[in-house]
Structure 1
């Protein structure tokens, strides 16, 4: 009897050890979603560039026009917190002559700023005023959201629903049932401009389009046989 009980205990131990060594039954999926919304802010990149034979003279010209630009932006009620210098530089202009050594023939000075425009209805007015004030560099325009948090939350929730739907479909096809969630993580998101509509002012045509807020999540489920 004692030998029988010992054999049963050893057999139970082997079974439990086999279960412990078995790989976990899990299902990992990635859910994605994108929510499109109309932007309520624009960011324009503009500035002033001048050249001169002397570095100081080139920078003096830039400073004069840059100060005029900042004054105009202030008169248009653009808040100081919405204007930021991106670049302030002076660099030589080289002459790569074929019959002699390289030499400096002058200097180019630049002052570039980024301007947030929170009232899109005044975008054309602000851009026209900046150009009239002496800005001779226009390096781009992009649209954004002043408060992206609600749209990002909506995109994340939709991404989780997408992951749950994918997992349910895979589990059904495999003939297993979904258990509790083991891990849930956000994979990051990005905003992508989508040009879908245009608004024309008296001075220039501006396509505001939509801003697409994307989200991606990864979920790992336990599986029930």
Structure 2
């Protein structure tokens, strides 16, 4: 019933301006649908944190360690645009506070800390554990994050939209049948801002390397609509 009204509503509003001005009670609903996809790449964010008495020495120590990390990534086949520096900082390390309200510039600097983080895109999700192990063996001491993604989620997103709309129309029919009224069309339809793919329950991949689970990504779509309720 509702599907047929989708086409008729726009025609009636154009052909009969007076009808468009009529005020009808409204049923507002929303529906969400999820579609699961298998990730085809992983992003590993890892790097080196170094501390030394001077900023220069902290930077030099960090540079030496990160050079080894980049070499390990190249040996693992991760090069070019799949490697990107995501953080580089040098900050002073202050002595413990003695007075809570003391200004920061009055604290004693006891060392300097350098943080260098690289994001590595691993296109074979079965090798994520091996890549992490290679980075750690090369000197990485700060594993920040491992996330999974898919290059093309267009088909999955469109399916999620179709499923959400089907659920929305079925729900509208249910409300109309349960409450005993007739629907006269859809006056408004919108989609919520698409959410980034979310990781679902993971299936562990056992290997001699660090165990990492790729699992599934959940592609979600939410559709909202206002249905006009026919006058008695």
| TM-score band, normalised by shorter chain | 0.7 to 0.9
Task: Write out aligned runs for 1:1-225 (5 A).
Answer: 23-96=23-96, 98=98, 102-190=107-195, 191-225=197-231
Q: CA deviation at 1:197?
A: 1.3
SS at 2:164 equivalent: helix
Moved more, 93-102 or 31-40: 93-102
- The structure in which a higher percent of residues are strand is 1
Alpha-carbon separation, structure 2, partners of 1:194 and 1:21: 47
Going from structure 1 to structure 2, the CA distance change for 1:20 and 1:60 (only over 3 Å counts) comes to closer
Report the 3-state secondary structure (helix = DSSP H, G, I; strand = E; otherwise coil) of the residue aligned with 2:32: strand
Instruction: Tell me how many residue pairs correspond in the alignment.
Output: 207
Q: How far has the Cα of 1:22 moved from its partner?
A: 6.3
* C-alpha deviation, 1:150, in angstroms: 1.5
Q: Output the CA distance in 2 between the equivalents of 1:124 and 1:172.
A: 54
C-alpha separation between the residues in 2 aligned to 1:203 and 1:126?
Answer: 9
Report the aligned-residue RMSD: 2.2
Deviations 1:91-143 (CA, angstroms, capped at 9, x unpaired): 11111264996300110001012111111122122111111222111012122
Structure 1: which 5+ residue stretches go unaligned? 1-18
SS in 2 for 1:199: coil
1:41-98 CA distances to partner (integer Å, 9 max, x unpaired)?
Answer: 1111101110000001101111222222223222322142222222100111111264
- Measure, in 2, the Cα distance between the counterparts of 1:204 and 1:69: 17
TM-score scaled by structure 2? 0.81
Tell me, what secondary structure is at the counterpart of 2:139? coil
Deviating above 3 A after TM superposition, structure 1's stretches of 4 or more consecutive aligned residues are 19-23, 97-101
User: How many angstroms does 1:223 deviate by?
Assistant: 2.5
Residues 20 and 91 (structure 1), Cα distance of their counterparts in 2 relative to 1, 3 Å cut: closer
